[in-house]
A and B are shown apart, each in its own frame.
Chain A
Amino acid sequence: MKERTTPFIIDNLRGNKQFPTVWCPGCGNGVVLSSIVRAINKLGIDKNYVTLVSGIGCSGRLPAYVDVNTVHTTHGRALAYATGIKLAKPEMEVIVVMGDGDSLAIGGNHFIHTARRNIELTAIIINNRIYGMTGGQYSPATPTGSISTTSSYGNIDQPFDISKMAEVAGAGFVARSTVYHVAEVEKFIEKGIEKKGFSVIEVLSNCHTYYGRMNKIKGPVDLLNYFKDNTALNTTNIQGNEDKIQRGIFVDRDVRGFIEEYENVIVKARRQKKYSRT
């Protein structure tokens, strides 16, 4: 069933918030914003039991527009804040939105350790392959050779493969899509939220203002077309597309999450307390 746009917006976005957003017109962040809202709605989760947490960056501004509990933390530390929130309120769906610099450079250590704990959080990484907010410097996800405001001669670093890293670090669910593939993004977020352990959804996104402009993929539409032409879904059209960026669900495994394990710790500790008293 197709929702009517206006009531949907009134129900899910904050009426007292100033629109338009702080983002450049056409920024991919908007697509991720609406995908998150639709996924929460589809799952029918009570808004009071959703907390959106973010770090610092253009992506960090996303939660402020959504009518759930929202926490805009410090650069790189969103997952650590979210860990505390989730442990204090295990019944809360805690969704963390981060940029590629936010989650992989300054927050890289928290990212791998959150995955290692497989704690029951959903992380959405908006990978625009650049530092948007600070003016287009290269990030750990910037492709080799790309131009940025701090790599005028071409980036010499190799980029992280976010999804692979999440997988080896221990995340229970890992998926990748792009802002061109809106329905897919929504579906992956939905699955990620439903999954019990740590879920990572990487969304390739367009920062036409910096990445696009400096790398000759000028407008938002050109970047969206780039995502359409240069990615392939891992389940269907692998053959002949091996050199394209893979989209799809890469990991979907049932490993016990941190909170589930911690409940066992409590049981053991209580037993010991009982015996030590008698």
Chain B
Amino acid sequence: MKVKNIPYYGASRIVRDISCDIRESDYIPAFIQGNEACVEAAIMANLGFYGGYPITPSSEIAEMFSRRLPQDGKVFIQMEDEIASIASCIGASIGGLKSMTATSGPGFSLMQENIGYAVMAEIPVVIVDVQRLGPSTGAASSPAQGDVMQARWGTHGDHPILVLAPGSVKESFEMTILAFNFAERLRTPVIILSDEVIGHMREKILIPPQEYVLIENRKQPTERPASYKPYSNDTDVPPMSVIGQGYRHHITGLLHDENGFPTSNKQEINRWYDRIYKKFDDNIKDLFMYDEYMVDDAEYLFISFGISSRMAIKAVDNARKEGIKAGAVKLLTLWPLDEEYIASVVAGKKLVVVPEMNRGQLVYDIQRISEGKVPVKHVGRTDGVMIDPNAILEAIK
């Protein structure tokens, strides 16, 4: 996906290329938390339904929606647990509303089975996981990046998934807009992997006016009900009807044929599987988003995401001061990885370091893609303290 430079706003992935006069006064300056940015963006994306269950450090999202959504006639509901939350969101999406839920580790674990349902039935839904530290109850208000692999593989069975990772308040805003756009465009659940620091940190951002922002909606069928196939293999992403429009088709979590009815036919199953992977593969250049920092002449490369990418960039600055040619790549999309890009960016480097606030998760995929041609090291931390840029620098000395 191309990054555009927009006057006043800066680098943007959500603002349209507009030729009309853009005025600074059109932007609303806001000094807000990452969680708040998420809420503002979701409302701009035309969120119709939020179903959630309180959990630190994500609760502000539910609290803000509970005030804001009814003001616009939209739905907020506090469900009895996170399983019900995600289920109600998928239900609302079947009913035609853009829907969202937010949680943290313990709740994210509870949501996994039904995230798989959204994959299987191809229902758009956005899930925010504001990561906290540790398995089980862990440490509720300490940051960590320990859910990287859970976001990828949390629900059972083979499946593709889209996971976006903001590293600032501005990115929280942009990734939320994009999460809805991708969910609608690909008929898929999208996970926003935030963390306690990003969620609670306040930064100044400029909120672009609604007209400047590209908002996508699901494609709807135009054919007659009799010829509509909700899971047609003729296209990567079949149009999705809304109940009540007259299509009256079946939706199930069982493997199904093009009409949505359960099947055990091996050809039909293979065709379904090929298609849901294809919609990610064909769009990888759009889905995979990253920023590069001084990589052109870099001999050492830091690949990171979220809050840790800020430490990686600081480490690059420190290295350059010492005359060491370091560069950084910030991944905004964690899954799927554009393996072609990763392979090309690590090629020829003396060393690649993957700083992440965990005991090693993303690093294993970077190692796999590097195929042993480049040494890849992990720098991690799991005590709720952010990674020290000097620790990243130490790793290359």
Whether the pair A74, B75 counts as a contact (CB closer than 8 A) is no
Query: A69-B243, A74-B87 are known contacts. Are A88 and B80 too (CB-CB below 8 A)?
Result: no
Pairwise interchain contact A71-B79, C-beta atoms closer than 8 A: no
Say yes or no: A88 contacts B81, CB within 8 Å.
Answer: no
Q: Are A73 and B259 interface neighbours, CB within 8 A?
A: no
| B243 close to A92 (CB less than 8 A) | yes
List residues of chain B with CB within 8 A of the CB of A266: 70-71, 73
Partner of A84, one of B73, B94, B246, B252: B94
Check B81–A72 contact: CB distance below 8 A.
Answer: no
Residue contact A80 to B87, C-beta cutoff 8 Å: yes
Contact with A along B90-106 (1 / 0, CB 8 A): 11111111010000000
- Is A4 an interface residue when CB atoms closer than 8 A count as contact? no
CB under 8 Å from chain B, chain A span 82-102: 82-89, 91-92
Is residue B304 contacting chain A, with contact meaning CB distance below 8 A? no
Interface flags for B65-95 (1: CB within 8 Å of A; 0: not) read 0010011010101011101110111111111
Q: How far is it, in angstroms, between the C-alpha of A194 and the C-alpha of B245 when the chains are bound?
A: 23
B43-59, CB < 8 A from A: 48-49, 51
Report if B233 contacts A (CB, 8 A). no
Neighbouring A residues of B117 by C-beta, 8 Å:
73-74
Bound form: Cα–Cα A49–B39 in Å: 32
Pick the contact of A17 from B67, B70, B247, B261 — CB < 8 Å? Answer: B261
> Does B75 contact A88, Cβ atoms closer than 8 Å?
yes
Given contacts A51-B243, A91-B244, whether A84 and B91 have CB atoms under 8 Å apart is yes
Q: Does A208 contact B (CB under 8 A)?
A: no
Which B residues lie within 8 Å of A92 (CB)?
Answer: 95, 243-244
Question: Does A68 have its Cβ within 8 Å of any Cβ on chain B?
Answer: yes
For residue A274, which residue of chain B has the nearest CB? B71
Q: Is A2 an interface residue (CB 8 A)?
A: no
B113 at the interface (CB under 8 A from A): yes
0 or 1 for each of B243-272: is its CB under 8 Å from A? (1 = yes): 111111111111000010110000000000
Cβ 8 A contact of A89, one of B70, B84, B96, B261 = B96
- Report the separation of the CA atoms of residues A86 and B248 in the bound assembly, to the nearest whole angstrom: 16
Would you call A110 and B244 a contact (CB within 8 A)?
no
Q: How far is the CB of B63 from chain A (nearest CB, A)?
A: 14
Q: Is the CB of B253 within 8 A of A74?
A: yes
Q: How far is the CA of A89 from the CA of B95 in the complex (A)?
A: 6
Answer yes or no: A109 CB below 8 A from chain B CBs. Answer: yes
Number of interface residues of A (CB under 8 A): 42
User: Which B residues, 213 to 266, have Cβ-Cβ distances below 8 Å to chain A?
Assistant: 243-254, 259, 261-262
Instruction: List chain B residues, Cβ under 8 A from A268.
Output: 70
Bound: A77/B87 CA distance, A:
7
Q: B114 touching A74 by the CB < 8 A rule?
A: yes
Contact of B89 among A74, A84, A113, A273 (CB under 8 A): A84
User: Which residue in chain B gives the minimum CB-CB distance to A84?
Assistant: B91
- How far is it, in angstroms, between the C-alpha of A69 and the C-alpha of B117 when the chains are bound? 17
Report the minimum CB–CB distance from B241 to chain A (whole Å): 9
Task: Name the residue of chain B whose CB is nearest to the CB of A267.
Answer: B70
Question: Which of A16, A89, A91, A109 has a CB less than 8 Å from the CB of B259?
Answer: A16
Task: Point out the residues of chain B lying under 8 angstroms from A56, CB to CB.
Answer: 253
Produce 1/0 per residue, A115-144, CB < 8 A to B.
000000000000000000000000000000
Complex Cα–Cα for A244 and B113 (A): 40
CB neighbours of A72 from chain B (8 A): 250-254
Please indicate the chain A residues that have their CB under 8 angstroms from the CB of B94 in the complex: 71, 81, 84-85, 88
Q: Nearest A residue to B89 by beta-carbon distance?
A: A84
Please give the distance in Å from A276's CB to the nearest CB on chain B.
9
* Residues from chain A with Cβ under 8 Å of B252 in the complex: 64, 71-72
Least CB distance from A246 to B in Å reads 29
Mask: chain A, 139-165; 1 = CB below 8 Å from B; 0 = not: 000000000000000000000000000
Contacting residues, chain A, for B92 (C-beta < 8 A):
84-85, 87-88
Contact residues in B for A83 (Cβ distance below 8 Å): 51, 77, 79, 84, 87-88, 91
Whole-angstrom distance between the Cβ of B203 and the nearest chain A Cβ: 24
Extra contacts besides A87-B92, A110-B84 (7): CB < 8 Å: A80-B85, A83-B91, A89-B96, A89-B243, A92-B244, A109-B84, A272-B71
Sample of 14 A–B contacts (CB below 8 Å): A17-B261, A48-B244, A49-B244, A72-B250, A73-B253, A77-B114, A83-B51, A84-B88, A85-B95, A86-B91, A88-B93, A92-B95, A269-B71, A270-B73
8 cross-chain pairs, A with B, having the tightest CB-CB distances, nearest first: A88-B95, A84-B91, A80-B87, A269-B70, A84-B88, A84-B92, A80-B84, A81-B91
